[in-house]
Structure 1
Amino acid sequence: MDIDVLNMFLIAGGTLALPILAFMASFLLWPSVLIKVYYWYWRRTLGMQVRYADCGGYRFCYSSRGKPGTRPSILMLHGFSAHKDMWLSVVKFLPKHLHLLCVDMPGHEGTTRTCAEDYSIQGQVRRIHQFVENIRLNKRPFHLVGTSMGGNVAGVYAACYPGDICGLTLICPAGLRSPNASPFVLQLQALERAGSTVAIPLIPGTPQEMEDMLRLCSYVRFKIPQQILQGLVDVRIPHNDFYREVFMQIIGEDSRHSLHDHMHLITAPLQVIWGKQDQVVDVSGASVLAEALPGCQVEVLENCGHSVVMERPRKTAKLIMDFIIAQQSTSSKKHS
């Protein structure tokens, strides 16, 4: 073989080997770094830009794509101990021209941590309203989407600030007095009777606890390598004391049933999406909302757990878009 050709193959092989070796090293030694790079790459691929909104010493971190247009802007509120990037799987299937915003909830990821008052449901509602006003999102009514804890916040927000909202999507929302207790709620009740506040299933501290949490939250069984489980735990461990503080606030007397106590004040068109096999917040909560607000549209997804956003992202995106388009069509007919 010609020496120049041999050198070319060696150089090409070396060039390819370096990123492969870097990936393997990250996977084996620093999986948490790999996870952060993964989210960065996914945001970049989908055109989501990270931005900040400063409000008198308080900083919100959010990602956004697009500009306000003929469709309403969509603001997405994530669940407990998650972050804005959890919505990327749904964003992938939403039209690129839509104006989308995914905000880190109070104290989560890049948004400021302050006092425990901000982590109650009412406290989070006040902070999200502060964010909305700061970026002037409510110049025109927008569509609000929330899941789990974020669903509780979104529902109470819609009740407290009806003029801001043109539509509301609640995905497996917490905050209801459901007819049936979920396995997670039963587990919590057992822990309370035992006087234990340490072993909260949604705050894992080991790879095994992380795997258990994923099994609790998902009907679909994802096969996740041990290194990735370790990386997911490594990312969370520095924040577990904060998560514990938030958790105690949202299950406290003033927050536990906030959505239930405010749902009669919701006037915006309401869409409810729930996984039929949800083990965290029982699907019977959907009937509570349907009875209280007869005009609401309920979609129960078969073979799906609490993590609807991760398990059924394409379906979730389609349901949200179909609902928004239908509401706009209804509104146009009323004004014609």
Structure 2
Amino acid sequence: MAVSFETHEYDIGGVRTVVKAIGQGKPVLVLHGAATLEGFDFAEGLADRFRVLVPSHPGFGFSGDAPHIAGMADMVLHYLNLLDALALTEKPHLMGFSMGGWMATELAALARERFDKVVLVAPAGLNDPAHPATDLGSLAPTDLPAYLAHDVTVALRYFPDGTDLAFAERFGADRAREGETLGRVLAPFGMGHPNLRRFLNRITNPALVVWGSKDRLVPASQVPLWVEALPNAKILLVEGAGHLVLQERPDTLKTIGDFLAG
């Protein structure tokens, strides 16, 4: 059964920005990764205790196009402006997955006073040569599901299987659109920032770094690098899970929720 979200729209600097919302309680702003193919149903795992807000980035998912985006700094500015528009009555938690983890890192470092706790799930962005992430451009499309989840059947449910031509066409169009915007986000430095450790040092908020032990896209060997750079961080290593850790191991969301509520 599909998760039932509220849908809210905002005009943020001329970009139609769609925020999916579910649940009640303290707000949690969740920033998705470099594509929206897996959807946002994972948010239901936090909605029993929190008001979960999942915006689509400019040029991604449900939000409008954003031809002005020229790098991650534009995304961070967009989210600072969205926070103003949301006018939340209490300080939200911040959570980011993959590229959204990189985004959350820069956002929290520049505006740490606007957030309570920070959760980084398999975050991209560090670009450490000793612990390299997989170059997505080097993967054949047919190989991608096996890099997204340790149990490939979990990832495959989000991909066309040849039985629904209309879905396959939408999927291709969505990936092309998101890929074009992603290319502009990555144009300055690739999938990360050369000084991201300096950003991490500024995040004094309580933080939780979540990673699947079998992540083939961004290796879990990066975990110590993140935790050492964050002044106040804990580790949640999920054994046997890949990059899509929240979809592959939904019980992880209870542990995340316990951290946020604690």
Q: Distance in 2 between matches of 1:64 and 1:250?
A: 25
Rounded to whole Å, the distance in 1 between the matches of 2:92 and 2:198 is: 23
1:295 counterpart (212, 221, 232): 232
* Conserved? CA contact 1:162–1:266, under 8 Å: yes
Question: What does residue 216 of structure 1 align with?
Answer: 147
Instruction: Decide whether the 8 Å contact of 2:201 with 2:231 is kept in 1.
Output: no
Q: Tell me the equivalent position of 1:227.
A: 162
Structure 2 counterpart of 1:103:
55
- The letter for the 2-side match of 1:143 is H
Task: Give 1 or 2 for the bigger CA radius of gyration.
Answer: 1
Q: Which has the higher helix share?
A: 1
Question: CA deviation digits over 1:21-50, x for unaligned, max 9?
Answer: xxxxxxxxxxxxxxxxxxxx6132xxx211
Which residue is equivalent to 2:197?
260
Aligned-partner Cα distance in 2 for 1:231–1:279: 30
Counterpart position of 1:246: 181
Higher strand share: 2
Corresponding residue number in structure 1 for 2:86: 135
**Residue 249 of structure 1: SS of its match in structure 2?**
helix
Whole-Å separation in 2 of the counterparts to 1:119 and 1:320: 32
Aligned pairs for 1:34-73 (under 5 A) are 42-44=2-4, 48-55=5-12, 57-67=14-24, 69=25, 72-73=26-27
SS at match of 1:73: strand
Q: State whether structure 2 residue 76 is matched by structure 1 residue 125.
A: yes
Q: Distance in 1 between matches of 2:97 and 2:164?
A: 23
- What CA distance in whole angstroms lies between the structure 1 residues aligned with 2:224 and 2:152? 27
Matched, 1:282 2:233: no
Amino acid at match of 2:76: V
> Closer, same or farther in 2 for the Cα pair 1:56/1:151, shift >3 Å?
closer
2:254 aligned with 1:304: no
Q: 1:333 maps to which residue?
A: none
Cα distance between partner residues in 1 of 2:138 and 2:183: 10
- 1:93: which partner in 2? 45
How many Å apart are 1:165 and its aligned residue? 0.5
Aligned to 1:80: 34
TM-score by length of 2: 0.86
Evaluate the alpha carbon distance shift between residue 169 and residue 76 of structure 1 in structure 2; reply closer, same or farther with a 3 A threshold.
same
1:161 Cα offset (Å):
0.8
| Structure 2 runs not aligned, ≥5 long | none
Deviations 1:130-187 (A, max 9, x none): 11111113x42110111001111111110011111101000000101333224x23xx
RMSD: 2.5
Q: Return closer, same or farther for 1:276/1:50 CA change in 2, 3 Å cut-off.
A: same
SS of the residue 2:2 aligns to: helix
Give TM-score scaled by structure 1 length: 0.69
- Per-residue deviation, 1:318: 1.2
From the superposition, tell whether residues 231 and 323 of structure 1 become closer, same or farther in structure 2 (CA, over 3 Å): farther
User: Could you tell me which residue of structure 2 aligns to residue 26 of structure 1?
Assistant: none
**Structure 1 CA distance for aligned equivalents of residues 229 and 210 of structure 2:** 16
| CA–CA separation in structure 1 for the residues paired with 2:80 and 2:180 | 22
- Map 1:140-155 to 2 at 5 A: 140-155=90-105
1:163 aligns with 2:116: no
Letter in structure 2 aligned against 1:247? L
* Aligned equivalents of 1:162, 1:106: Cα separation in 2: 22
Asked whether the 8 Å contact 2:215–2:242 carries over to 1, the reply is yes
Q: Tell me, what secondary structure is at the counterpart of 1:92?
A: helix
Match of 1:273 in 2: 210
Q: C-alpha offsets along residues 212-259 of structure 1, whole Å, 9 cap, x if unaligned? A: 211111101206583368666422322444333333334334463334
| Cα distance, 1:260 vs structure 2 | 3.3
User: One-letter code of the match for 1:323?
Assistant: F
